Amino acid sequence: MMSGFREGDDSAELVHRMDTGRWQDESFPREGWRFSTFKDMGAEDARCEMCQHARVRFAHVLVHATVPDVILVGLKCAEALQKDDYCGPEKREREYRDDLRIKNDWPKREWKTSRIGNPFINARGYNLSIWKKGPGFGVTIRKENRFDGEYVRNDPRMYGTIEEAKLGALDRLLDARAESRKQKQGRTIV
Ligand SMILES: [Zn+2]
């Protein structure tokens, strides 16, 4: 009999048991859940709201047309509740964790200086540059090694300092990654 899935390591409290919590409630919907967003539960002792057993760090927030409350679940319960989602909760969580890693590493990254004196950085296939814009600084993002204008976004904002512009560049990078994922997803579905 299948009693649970493992997430992470062998620790019992990381197991999403399929015979505990709301899995025992026959009236609770098992289908029709849609992904909404992620929530970083941080250091608090958060449990998956479906199995009410496994400890969860990055909760998938799922919504349902007929259930008023959202449900915060771990990966394995998210998969079990979204069997029709072939984009896949696993892929989604991997990308989310990857974005978090980019954010955490950002302050440690070293910027270079272009020939014309602008700070720039190459990250995850994108080239991000900071340039003088009026009294402040602007940010431009483009696909690395591709200067034919296929992907270029000028951040409309103006940043007061270079440090602010560097944080703005991080937002633009995360936006670009989200945009690219959406496009790929669109191609898969069509
Ligand atoms: Zn669970």
pLDDT at position 139: 97
> What is the distance in A from the centroid of ligand 1 to the CA of 181?
26
Average pLDDT over residues 39-65: 93
Average pLDDT over residues 48-71: 95
Q: Does residue 7 register a pLDDT over 80? A: no
Which residue type occupies 106? W
The rounded mean pLDDT for the chain is 88
The larger pLDDT score, comparing residue 120 to residue 150, is at: 120
Pick the range with the lowest mean pLDDT from 41-55, 97-111, 174-188: 174-188
Query: Can you tell me whether residue 173 is helix, strand or coil?
Result: helix
> What is the distance in A from the centroid of ligand 1 to the CA of 88?
16
Per-residue pLDDT reduced to its tens digit, 107-129 = 999 999 999 999 999 999 999 99
Whether the Cβ atoms of residue 63 and residue 34 lie closer than 8 Å to each other: yes
> What is the distance in A from the centroid of ligand 1 to the CA of 185?
26
Q: Which residue has the tokens 């899935």?
A: 5
The larger pLDDT score, comparing residue 78 to residue 1, is at: 78
> What is the distance in A from the centroid of ligand 1 to the CA of 34?
16
> What is the distance in A from the centroid of ligand 1 to the CA of 16?
4
pLDDT at position 4: 52
152 forms beta bridges with 142
> What is the distance in A from the centroid of ligand 1 to the CA of 182?
27
> What is the distance in A from the centroid of ligand 1 to the CA of 29?
14
- Helix H or strand E encompassing 112: strand 112-113
Query: Can you tell me whether residue 70 is helix, strand or coil?
Result: strand
- pLDDT class for 184, splitting at 50, 70, 90? confident
Neighbouring residues of the ion ligand 1, judged by CB less than 5 Å: 16, 48, 50-51, 54, 74, 77
> What is the distance in A from the centroid of ligand 1 to the CA of 77?
4
Average pLDDT over residues 26-45: 92
Per-residue pLDDT reduced to its tens digit, 133-148 = 999 999 999 988 766 6
pLDDT at position 151: 81
